[in-house]
Amino acid sequence: MAAVPVPPPPLLASHAAVRAAASADAADVRNLSLVYTLAGVDCIDCAADASVVGAVNEGIDVAASIIPAVQRPWVMVSVNDDCRDLHFRKAEFDPEDCPLDCSKPCEKVCPAEAISLESVMVGGAHTQSDPLHGKLKGGVLPERCYGCGRCLPVCPYDRIRAVSYVRDPTTTSELLKRNDVDAIEIHTTGKGTDTFNTLLNSLRESINNVKLVAVSMPDIGESTVDFMNALYAIMEPHIQGYNLWQLDGRPMSGDIGRGATRETVSFAIHMASMSERPPGFYQLAGGTNSYTIDFLKKAGLFQSRTFPGTETSETICSQEALIGGIAYGGYARKIIGRTLRKIPAQFGRVRIEDHPEHLLEALQEALSLVGPVKGYPALSSLL
């Protein structure tokens, strides 16, 4: 393996990343990428899908046209080695099997607005409540569903199923050869190394094109570090740049609140207590939100850096601490989504830069999340 270069300081210390979703509406991905690029994230993680990668890069390009000096975040594509990974599933049901008088709790609970249902009269005319002549149309919008699973238990008629999938390695290989893809994130379940080995072998001709190979995995208890070392032994011959461990505390739950982040930070605390950890940078994900950085700093686990002329909390974190970055997923999308939904429907949601007041509001939201990780001075101190 080639020697791992010393990382440029901003990149993997005080490193902020956003996950544009394993799958999401392309317009939202573009706008989200634009806003978080302006906010200064280091990496944007997205589905290993050419159209989604294109949407991310378009958002970054527009951000760079607004502020030419903006740092271009790395674009990271996400794949899985095993269909049991929760990030790679979608909800599915046939709305025609649903009772017309169902109160549709599935639609209400979905954080991604990925379920859309309407009642129609058989024959075409709209009806709201006639169970004899109506039916439901619509269902799950697969491009918006990111597999959080919250709709599954709320269906009173047990109509919803989860359909899992594995990203195609051939498509992934082609993406890794593009010059607008910088990194790959491999999700693994911790249930065995065979599938990881198979995936690495199938990507061996392309994986050395990227600057960073990240592995996302859950806390599997006492065997976590042994498992990580086994993964590292498999991937070491294939990687030419950096490697990153993404500690996936509580998958796809950051938008739920404070409790989700406690569970995630406890994964970091667990890792910090283990010796013989494999080489690489460490980042927290899954259950991350606006509370995460404070919890991490209080535990003395967050690496920080100081911007000249500003103050950061060096007393409660250090350059040597375990966690160098935080990846925000559902929470990052939620706070920007609130603004995107305010853009009047007649304008669509396509180009947030055409609505400067909304762009500014979204940017303030993004900075409130990214700023504490990057050590930016508080906005209030600049006004």
Query: Residue with the closest Cβ to ligand SF4?
Result: 98
Binding window for ligand SF4 (CB under 6 A); candidates: 72-80, 146-154, 182-190, 304-312: 146-154
Query: Residue 160 or 359: which CB sits closer to ligand SF4?
Result: 160
Binding to ligand SF4, residues 157-176 (CB under 6 A): 157, 159-160
* Contacts of ligand SF4 in 87-126 (CB under 6 A): 91, 93, 98, 102, 104-106, 109-110, 112, 114-115, 117
Tokens found for residue 98: 């649903």
Q: Compute the least distance from the CB of residue 201 to ligand SF4, in Å.
A: 31
Nearer to ligand SF4 among residue 150 and residue 305 (C-beta): 150
Q: Report 228-257 residues binding ligand SF4 (CB under 6 A).
A: none
Q: Kindly report the backbone phi and psi dihedral angles of residue 325, in degrees, each rounded to the nearest multiple of 5, phi listed first.
A: -160, 170
Residue whose entry in the numeric block shows the structure tokens 């690496």: 303
Q: What is the DSSP string of 231-278?
A: HHHHHGGG-SSEEEEEEESSTT-GGG-HHHHHHHHHHHHHHHT-SSPP
DSSP string across 125-194: -B-SS-TTTEEEEEEE-TTT-----TTTTT-TT---EEEE----HHHHHHHHTSTT--EEEEE--SS-SH
Q: Select from 151-159, 193-201, 239-247, 293-301 the region that touches ligand SF4 (CB under 6 A).
A: 151-159
Rounded least distance, CB 340 to ligand SF4, Å: 16
Among residues 146 and 376, whose Cβ is nearest to ligand SF4?
Answer: 146
What backbone torsions phi and psi does residue 186 show, to the nearest 5 degrees? -105, 115
Q: Which is nearer to ligand SF4, 147 or 280 (CB)?
A: 147
Task: Give min distance, CB of 146 to ligand SF4, in A.
Answer: 5
Residues within window 341-380 making contact with ligand SF4, judged by CB under 6 A:
none
Separation between Cα atoms, residue 242 and residue 50, nearest integer Å: 24
Q: How far apart are CA 329 and CA 287, in angstroms?
A: 8
Torsion of CA 177, 50, 324, 73, to 10 degrees: 90
The nearest distance, CB 30 to ligand SF4, in angstroms, is: 19
Considering only 15-23, 145-153, 174-182, 266-274, which stretch makes contact with ligand SF4 by CB under 6 A? 145-153
Spatial distance between the Cα atoms of 112 and 110, rounded to a whole number of angstroms? 6
Give the closest residue to 159 by CA, choosing from 92, 113, 105, 103: 92
Measured from the CB of residue 155, what is the shortest distance to ligand SF4 in angstroms?
3
Tell me how far apart the alpha carbons of residues 307 and 315 are, in angstroms, rounded to a whole number: 15
Q: How many residues in the shown chain lie near ligand SF4 by CB under 6 A? A: 25
Region binding ligand SF4 by CB under 6 A among candidate stretches 9-17, 34-42, 123-131, 154-162: 154-162
- Positive or negative, the CA dihedral 303, 306, 312, 315 is positive
Among positions 52, 145, 285, 326, the unique one binding ligand SF4 when judged by CB under 6 A: 145
One residue of 40, 134, 147, 190 binding ligand SF4 per CB under 6 A: 147
Rg, the chain, Cα only: 21
Instruction: Out of 17, 53, 155, 265, point to the residue binding ligand SF4 (CB under 6 A).
Output: 155
Chain residues in the site for ligand SF4 (CB under 6 A): 91, 93, 98, 102, 104-106, 109-110, 112, 114-115, 117, 140, 145-151, 155, 157, 159-160
